[in-house]
């Protein structure tokens, strides 16, 4: 197998604000942590932009002959989850399991590799409690009304990732401190006391649940050690989430938390911020229901370099499908047409250069746009050579090898075999959510769920004895 990933791999490091050469610190294994989904709803395409970037990152790291030890958390407890679970009279686990399952099914559909380890927050409560106790012993915390907060004033480097200068605020320019239960407006909860009627873990910290930030610090350190090679997520996580992760982790260990920080930019839809109120909010299921293939979605999400905003448009999705079709046709032509014996040297040189350009572009901070340009330029030339009778039998194997190299990263050439996209358990769970919404007189939400199911091909019938459903 060819390996043209010979150029140094470089990433833009949010921490240093520079392009830096990347290699793991120890034994050729990249210890990486990426922030996973909060499983209170189906993930949307903005989330999947980040997860697709992480998948490309994994594949490029492997193409550079590194081994991977990658942990991703599943946030299966937070305020929204608890609110929704209580409203639906479900346990936290009952409520989240549907969405965890749906998330993993979506990842499979988009061909996103599973990290070496998926870490659900609720399976690590004891570890978090222990870490919070250690932070308290180091005087980094204080308690208020049964909750425990991290005192940012004890971590002078706060702001070094987001490059925000908080020094002025720290020095006492606090406003109306009495109005907050926190001593400083930026202090954040490590442990939250339950509100009336909420489920809680009984721990030495008192009853409650962990804050979001602590779970990432604890699970990252537990599985990957005190200093990670790489930590990634969406740009919206830089502040405060990743800044808080650094404050907690470095206060716990006294070591740098991560050597490289990579952040994927936002996704826009048709030039606008995606939001439910604008009606441009899409889950993968919404797009599958409209007939778009997982490969086209994956291609579109992968085609824009991760540090650029991605404008997700339906025209873009159609173009993605056309681009994939072109590559599939080219592959078919290579596999089925007969070519005269020998080699066309010019084409062989072009193919080698394109392959080199492909890997160099990816190693240049994952420049997927340039990598794709190299592929399509070569395919255009090869197709012309085929039309002109210049393409030779000896050019076939290297061309197929180049396509294999392309697909080992982009993974769009094999068509998805269509199955029923929405599981019975998800349908039932949405119907329950709709019934609950109706009871709460939230008819807009109830209608929205009916619409969502309709788009997935599910028809609801309200009967005297309850709701019946069928597939279209
Ligand atoms: Zn995180």
Cα-to-centroid distance, 115 and ligand 1 (Å): 15
Cα-to-centroid distance, 77 and ligand 1 (Å): 13
pLDDT given for residue 471 in this prediction: 77
Residue where the block lists tokens 């907060």: 149
What's the average model confidence in pLDDT over 98-127? 97
pLDDT given for residue 420 in this prediction: 55
- What whole-number distance in Å separates Cα of residue 379 and Cα of residue 382? 5
pLDDT given for residue 168 in this prediction: 58
**What SS3 state is found at 92?**
helix
- What whole-number distance in Å separates Cα of residue 231 and Cα of residue 213? 14
Cα-to-centroid distance, 46 and ligand 1 (Å): 16
Cα-to-centroid distance, 276 and ligand 1 (Å): 24
Cα-to-centroid distance, 243 and ligand 1 (Å): 10
Residue 180 reports pLDDT greater than 60: no
Cα-to-centroid distance, 73 and ligand 1 (Å): 7
Cα-to-centroid distance, 233 and ligand 1 (Å): 8
Residue 24 reports pLDDT greater than 70: yes
Residue 269 reports pLDDT greater than 70: yes
pLDDT given for residue 3 in this prediction: 62
Cα-to-centroid distance, 254 and ligand 1 (Å): 19
Cα-to-centroid distance, 428 and ligand 1 (Å): 31
Higher per-residue confidence, 91 vs 169? 91
Residue 245 reports pLDDT greater than 90: yes
Residue 176 pLDDT level (bands cut at 50, 70, 90): very low
pLDDT given for residue 178 in this prediction: 42
* pLDDT tens string 45-86: 999 999 999 999 999 999 999 999 999 999 999 999 999 999
Cα-to-centroid distance, 371 and ligand 1 (Å): 30
Residue 177 reports pLDDT greater than 90: no
- What's this model's pTM, rounded to 2 decimal places? 0.86
What's the average model confidence in pLDDT over 401-426? 86
pLDDT given for residue 365 in this prediction: 98
User: What backbone phi and psi angles, to 5 degrees, belong to 194?
Assistant: -75, 150
Cα-to-centroid distance, 216 and ligand 1 (Å): 5
Cα-to-centroid distance, 131 and ligand 1 (Å): 16
Residue 296 reports pLDDT greater than 80: yes
The bridge status of strand 458-463 relative to strand 466-471 is antiparallel
pLDDT given for residue 175 in this prediction: 39
Cα-to-centroid distance, 47 and ligand 1 (Å): 13
Cα-to-centroid distance, 74 and ligand 1 (Å): 9
Residue 33 reports pLDDT greater than 80: yes
pLDDT given for residue 408 in this prediction: 97
What's the average model confidence in pLDDT over 296-323? 98
Average pLDDT over the chain reads 93
Residue 418 reports pLDDT greater than 70: no
Residue 172 reports pLDDT greater than 50: no
Residue 277 reports pLDDT greater than 60: yes
Residue 182 reports pLDDT greater than 80: no
pLDDT given for residue 469 in this prediction: 87
Cα-to-centroid distance, 34 and ligand 1 (Å): 7
Residue 2 pLDDT level (bands cut at 50, 70, 90): low
pLDDT given for residue 397 in this prediction: 97
User: How many other CB atoms sit within 10 Å of the CB of residue 271?
Assistant: 9
What's the average model confidence in pLDDT over 263-288? 94
pLDDT given for residue 179 in this prediction: 43
Is 344 in contact with 350 (CB distance < 8 Å)? no
Residue 169 reports pLDDT greater than 60: no
What's the average model confidence in pLDDT over 184-199? 92
pLDDT given for residue 330 in this prediction: 97
Please report, rounded to a whole number, the percentage of residues in the chain having pLDDT higher than 70: 95
What's the average model confidence in pLDDT over 27-50? 97
Residue 229 reports pLDDT greater than 70: yes
Cα-to-centroid distance, 231 and ligand 1 (Å): 9
């Amino acid at each position: 197998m060819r390996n043209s990933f010979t150029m140094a791999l470089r990433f833009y490091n949010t921490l240093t604000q520079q392009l830096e050469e990347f290699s793991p610190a120890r034994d050729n294994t990249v210890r990486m942590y990426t922030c996973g989904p909060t499983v209170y709803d189906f993930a949307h395409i903005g989330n999947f932009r980040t997860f697709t970037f992480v998948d490309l990152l994994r594949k490029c790291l492997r193409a550079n002959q590194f081994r991977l030890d990658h942990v991703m958390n599943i946030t299966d407890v937070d305020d929204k989850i608890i609110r929704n679970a209580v409203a639906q009279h479900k346990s936290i686990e009952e409520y989240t399991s549907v969405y965890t399952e749906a998330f993993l099914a979506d990842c499979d559909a988009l061909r996103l590799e599973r990290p070496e380890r998926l870490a659900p927050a609720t399976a690590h409560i004891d570890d978090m409690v222990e870490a919070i106790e250690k932070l308290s012993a180091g005087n980094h915390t204080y308690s208020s009304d049964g909750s425990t907060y991290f005192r940012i004033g004890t971590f002078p480097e706060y702001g070094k990732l987001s490059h925000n200068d908080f020094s002025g605020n720290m020095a006492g320019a606090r406003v109306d401190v009495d109005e907050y239960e926190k001593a400083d407006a930026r202090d954040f909860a490590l442990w939250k006391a339950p509100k009336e009627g909420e489920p809680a873990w009984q721990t030495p910290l008192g009853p409650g649940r962990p804050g979001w930030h602590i779970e990432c610090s604890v699970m990252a350190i537990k599985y990957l050690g005190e200093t990670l090679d790489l930590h990634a997520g969406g740009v919206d996580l830089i502040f405060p989430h990743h800044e808080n992760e650094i404050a907690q982790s470095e206060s716990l260990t006294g070591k740098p938390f991560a050597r490289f920080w990579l952040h994927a930019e936002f996704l826009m839809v048709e030039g606008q911020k995606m939001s439910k109120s604008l009606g441009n909010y899409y889950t993968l299921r919404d797009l599958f229901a409209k007939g778009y293939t997982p490969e086209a979605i994956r291609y579109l999400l992968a085609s824009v370099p991760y540090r650029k905003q991605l404008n997700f448009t339906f025209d873009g999705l159609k173009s993605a499908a056309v681009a994939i079709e072109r590559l599939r046709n080219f592959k078919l032509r290579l596999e089925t047409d007969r070519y005269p014996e020998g080699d066309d040297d010019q084409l062989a040189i072009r193919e080698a250069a394109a392959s080199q350009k492909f890997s160099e572009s990816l190693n240049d901070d994952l420049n997927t746009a340039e990598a794709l340009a190299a592929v399509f330029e070569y395919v255009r030339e090869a197709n012309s050579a085929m039309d002109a009778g210049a393409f030779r039998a000896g050019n076939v194997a290297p061309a197929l090898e180049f396509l294999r190299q392309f697909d080992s990263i982009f993974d769009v050439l094999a068509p998805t075999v269509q199955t029923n996209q929405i599981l019975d358990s998800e349908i039932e769970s949405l119907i329950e959510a709709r019934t609950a919404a109706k009871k709460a007189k939230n008819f807009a939400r109830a209608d929205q769920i009916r619409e969502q199911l309709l788009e997935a091909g599910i028809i609801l019938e309200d009967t005297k004895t309850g709701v019946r459903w069928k597939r279209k």
